Amino acid sequence: MKLYFLKITLFLFSILFIGCKQNSEFVSTHKKSKSENTIQYATGLSIINHKGFSIVIVSNPWPKATKKFTYILKEKNGIVPDSLQQFTTIQVPIQSIVVTSTTHIPSLEMLGVENSLIGFPNLNYISSDKVRTQIEKGKIKELGNNSSLNTEKLIDLQPNIIVGYGLDNNNPTLDNLQKSGLKVILNGDWNETTPLGKAEWIKLFGALYCKQAESNKIFASIEKEYLAATFIAKKAKYKPSLLAGDIFEGKWYLPSGTSWGSFLFKEANANYIWQETTGTGSLSLSFETVFEKAKNADFWITSGQFSTLKAMSGANPHYNQFKAFQNKKVYSFCGKKGKTGGVLYYELGPNRPDIVLKDLVKILHPELLIGYEPFFFKKLN
């Protein structure tokens, strides 16, 4: 079980650091050109509003996806044109929902509709206090694993919508659920390539609940805080060197230079040692390669496997040869967990890149953001 948990941890660490290289002008260049599309940063989502209904297009639900998925969100008394009848129609506002990733939960909570959640696969991963209270009351049912959702329970629950995700074009579980008459919509937030692109998927939930004004306001606040943090980070007089990741099953996994994590490091005005590499996921390197290049790094952001320096050196005594380790400048996001061990960073981090960025800025440039205390990241003792 412990090995399985570590694999999940490293997988999530990689997922949160998927992305592509952008320049500092991404704010303007990534906005969609179509004025009727309400989405600005997310490249895999479009929401086009019409009187009585909205068209939702998910165009990048997994890496290198070759097809788009179109959904019609129909309001009461809305009239959908015949040309759109071929697509899945969802009556909105929805009253009940099943989501399949912890990253979906903060959107429900921010919109104040977490009580509509009635099922989730592997409840132990959920960290949200509000949702855990609902679980303890028996109002959210355990649905097994994502790869093998409990179809019978889902059919009994009859949720208005199931929000799923796919790693590729092969997801027989979701296909079978749709054949059973249940409505499924894909969420591709994890496949977005910029921090604000990931966060903007709250607008999908806003559309499902007829709360688009609320979701727009929430995202605008996140965007404002994020951009303000990037502005402050540019004031730093020194750009410290940064190492990330750690060893798992003999290999050191760390964000590639064109990943989401590397993008955030750059926005925080850090000199990430592998920022010149390419690739959309994680690098897999030997200890010797990492040590040779990063032994004198000023700071170290770990993957979240360890909660203390002693635990790190116990797992691999060579960790203490790094300057950042010796100077106690190693930081982790594993400190905040839910009642059953779920790591809050994996749940909330993609939805609140403004907080992640402010944490990094404060760690790397302690003279900035006076009075701010990092929320996710803590120094290992």
> What's the pLDDT tens digit per position in 138-175?
999 999 987 788 999 999 999 999 999 877 777 778 88
> Once rounded to an integer, what is the mean pLDDT over residues 106-112?
98
Give per-residue pLDDT as tens, 33-55: 343 789 999 999 999 999 999 99
- Cβ count near 174 (within 10 Å): 19
CB 245 within 8 A of CB 235: no
Over 80: is that where the pLDDT of 4 sits?
no
Note if the pTM is more than 0.85. yes
The residue type at 87: F
What domains, with CATH codes, occur in the chain? 2-19+231-379 (3.40.50.1980)
Take residue 332 and report the two structure tokens written for it: 């982790």
Written as one letter, the residue type at 72 is I
d(CA 267, CA 271): 10
Quick one: pLDDT band at residue 22, thresholds 50, 70, 90?
very low
Determine if residue 215 is left, alpha or beta; phi over 0 gives left, psi from -120 to 50 gives alpha, anything else beta: alpha
In DSSP terms, 74 is beta-bridged to: 53, 91
pLDDT winner (highest mean) among 55-64, 164-173, 226-235, 255-264: 226-235
Question: Does residue 255 have a cis bond before it (omega within 30 degrees)?
Answer: no
Q: Is 360 helix (H, G, I), strand (E, B) or coil?
A: helix
Give CA torsion, residues 44, 32, 93, 50, to 10 deg.
-130
User: What does DSSP assign to residue 75?
Assistant: P
